Chain A
Amino acid sequence: ETGVTQSPTHLIKTRGQQVTLRCSSQSGHNTVSWYQQALGQGPQFIFQYYREEENGRGNFPPRFSGLQFPNYSSELNVNALELDDSALYLCASSWGSSSTDTQYFGPGTRLTVL
């Protein structure tokens, strides 16, 4: 059984650019959640997708957007990058969108904004 995978592993962008991060969910999982983990902090919830629909959003501006595809893989897009967007971006998949469903995390994408 393949776990959650994310690509790329590392990424360097400059302020104002746009970035797309990708996530492949674990087999059989229909829900993907994205988190931002700044250095020295705990992960913060960005949004969740359940069966291709956004199913909840954290306190992030609209320039953070996402997609979920029919195979339940997902993308996180960030427009107009700011220096504070530098962080580890974690994707997690689960069997469903319930609070009791365990979220399985990928290794993350390290984004650096210069």
Chain B
Amino acid sequence: AQSVTQLGSHVSVSEGALVLLRCNYSSSVPPYLFWYVQYPNQGLQLLLKYTTGATLVKGINGFEAEFKKSETSFHLTKPSAHMSDAAEYFCAVSGSGGTSYGKLTFGQGTILTVHP
């Protein structure tokens, strides 16, 4: 079984400030982890993913995330927020085997607001 918890359904930052969106996962097999972004009335766009190898993953639009196995976390960060980053962000997990293989399990989402 696998699950994702995103801490904070809403996060508000000022333009230029650090963005930190939190994600913790639970998985009975080694996880593969993803962050997706959803703009209003649109589908989901992949920001970055962790499968194996380097635990610090860099994605599009200046975002990065670090896989920490000991903390079962995969938090998303961006050093300096831009107005265009305002959207909803979803963390997702997929399993390396078992019934979770190939299936994405999403968190509840975090709405990011960026103030000028």
Contact = CB atoms under 8 A, between A and B. Distances in A.
Interface residues of A, number: 28
Interface in A39-98: 40-45, 48, 55-56, 58, 90, 92, 97-98
B90 A43 contact: yes
Contacts of A44: 106
Given A33-B104, A41-B108, A41-B109, A102 B43 contact: no
B96 interface: yes
Interface in B18-72: 32, 36, 41-46, 49, 51
Tell which of A41, A45, A108 has the most Cβ of chain B within 10 Å.
Answer: A45
A111 interface: no
A91 to B, nearest CB: 8
A47 to B, nearest CB: 9
Tell which of A33, A98, A103 has the most Cβ of chain B within 10 Å.
Answer: A103
B103 A90 contact: no
B32 A4 contact: no
Interface of A: 4, 31, 33, 35, 40-45, 48, 55-56, 58, 90, 92, 97-108
